[in-house]
Homo-oligomer: A and B are copies of this chain.
Amino acid sequence: MSEARVGRILLVGDELLGGTISDRNVRMITTALANAGVEIDRVEFARDDRAVIAQAIRRLAEGADVLVLTGGLGPTSDDVTRDGVADCLGVPLVEDAGALERLTALMAERGLGAPSENVKRQARFPRGATIVANPVGSAAGFRVRVQGCDLWSLPGVPMEASAMIDAVARAVGRPDVSWERTIATAGIGEVRVAERLEGGGFHAPPGARLAFLPGPGGVRVRVFAPGGLDADVLDAAEAEVRALLGDWALPGRSIEESVVAAARARNRWLATAESCTGGLIGARITDVPGSSSVYLGGVVAYANEIKAGQLGVDPARIESEGAVSEVVATAMAVGVRERFAAAGGAGSAIAAAGPSGAVLPVLGLSVTGVAGPGGGTPEKPVGTVWIGWADDRGAGASSFRFPGPREMVRERTVNKALEIAYRRLVESDG
């Protein structure tokens, strides 16, 4: 076991400081570097200003082994990361003939003509830099040493940074040790997770530490070894955490992965009927690669007429009980289950592969709610949500009241619906 190496990140871009976009690189970089034994201890944002960038690099390189920059490598005049790095090193920018050739070829291929002077800046790098190829975009990255620190400059577009981070991790990594195990949970708060583990006598193994990471999809428990440990030691710690948490611990890295795994293990299919979430539940399920082996699809029944016409909900009940009600949530789950189970009908490939012939074993999951900002009433204020289910053991619905603005109500609804689906699948074993 050795000390972890220290990593830092500098995110360059006015768009990050101007309220236009949210960062989507830090999580990806910290994960990739943690798996290479580099622990990120500081992150900073800098605007598109070469003096500001140079100053931030000096501040962050001090005491760091690895510094990853993202952003500011584009073709417009406000892209000045390369200038900031060169200033910091006291070297000029030098045009690279190979990079210019690739850039020219790429632009020709995309029908954009010869590169303008601005675009040609993407072929210039601080003297002495090693060029890092960009497999999915025009802006190449580069690597230099600054004050003894290994500096990598990558594009800011998450897709491009993400395509290049593996090269960074390979260059700085150590293949012999493991760094962390993360256990996802559902339906249990941070305080109770801590009580379960501490009350159960759990201690992180020497060289590792325990963290509770609350997130929108539930609390994650992380056992992290800053200096690296044998895989066996971390595996044993993970097993102990799982034993103490019992059913609260999820088998997958997220609730949606766990739903897909639970359905697959039980030969169940899933179908969704969504109103206020507008397709978010389907989107989360289909985020999981391979979800096509368990997810048939769903109906987004935003208008009441679609709840009736596409899911068979009785319009008279929508009228009398309201669209946000137990009876409508239950009828939506039953409706999507019945209609989608028929997908296993005559001649279908699914039916041929499935265990039960013409009618598929489907778990129908539904949501209907008032996400806001409008639509609330004294009886059904904004945040009121009904989540319904239907399977071979019956059907029903539960109500919730989620605080917060529209976006948060929708997100909490999705997480709770996925948790209900997971519990329903797991309980069907008993």
Residues of A within 8 A of B (CB): 14-24, 26-28, 30-31, 34, 40-47, 52, 74-76, 78, 116, 118-119, 136-137, 157-159, 162-163, 182, 190-191, 194, 211-216, 220, 222, 224, 272, 274, 276-283, 285-287, 289-292, 295-306, 308-310, 315, 339-340, 342-345, 347-350, 372-374, 403-408
Contacts and interface: CB of A to CB of B under 8 A. Distances in A.
Given A43-B45, A300-B299, A214 B75 contact: no
Nearest to A59: B59
A315 B191 CA distance: 52
13 contacts: A15-B211, A15-B213, A20-B182, A20-B220, A22-B23, A26-B45, A43-B44, A163-B405, A278-B295, A289-B374, A309-B342, A309-B343, A309-B345
Nearest to A157: B214
Contacts of A17: 26, 30, 40-41, 43
A213 to B, nearest CB: 4
B297 A286 contact: no
B20 A191 contact: no
Given A22-B23, A23-B26, A159-B403, 19 more contacts: A17-B43, A19-B28, A19-B31, A19-B34, A20-B182, A76-B190, A158-B408, A276-B286, A278-B285, A279-B286, A282-B302, A289-B372, A290-B374, A297-B306, A297-B310, A299-B310, A303-B343, A306-B343, A309-B342
Specify how many copies of this chain sit in the oligomer.
Answer: 2
Contact of A305 (B194, B295, B350): B350
A204 B274 CA distance: 45
A373 B408 CA distance: 29
A66 to B, nearest CB: 14
B289 A278 contact: no
A292 B302 contact: yes
B304 A349 contact: yes
Nearest to A27: B22
A15 B78 contact: no
Contacts of A372: 289
Contacts of A157: 214
A341 to B, nearest CB: 10
A182 B306 CA distance: 36
Nearest to A311: B297
A350 B45 contact: no
A214 B15 contact: yes
Nearest to A77: B194
Contacts of A309: 339-340, 342-343, 345
A401 to B, nearest CB: 12
B21 A213 contact: yes
A287 B191 contact: no
Nearest to A46: B42
A237 to B, nearest CB: 16
Contacts of A158: 216, 408
Contacts of A405: 159, 162-163
A163 to B, nearest CB: 7
A283 B286 contact: no
A18 B41 contact: no
A89 to B, nearest CB: 22
Contacts of A45: 26, 42-44
B277 A283 contact: yes
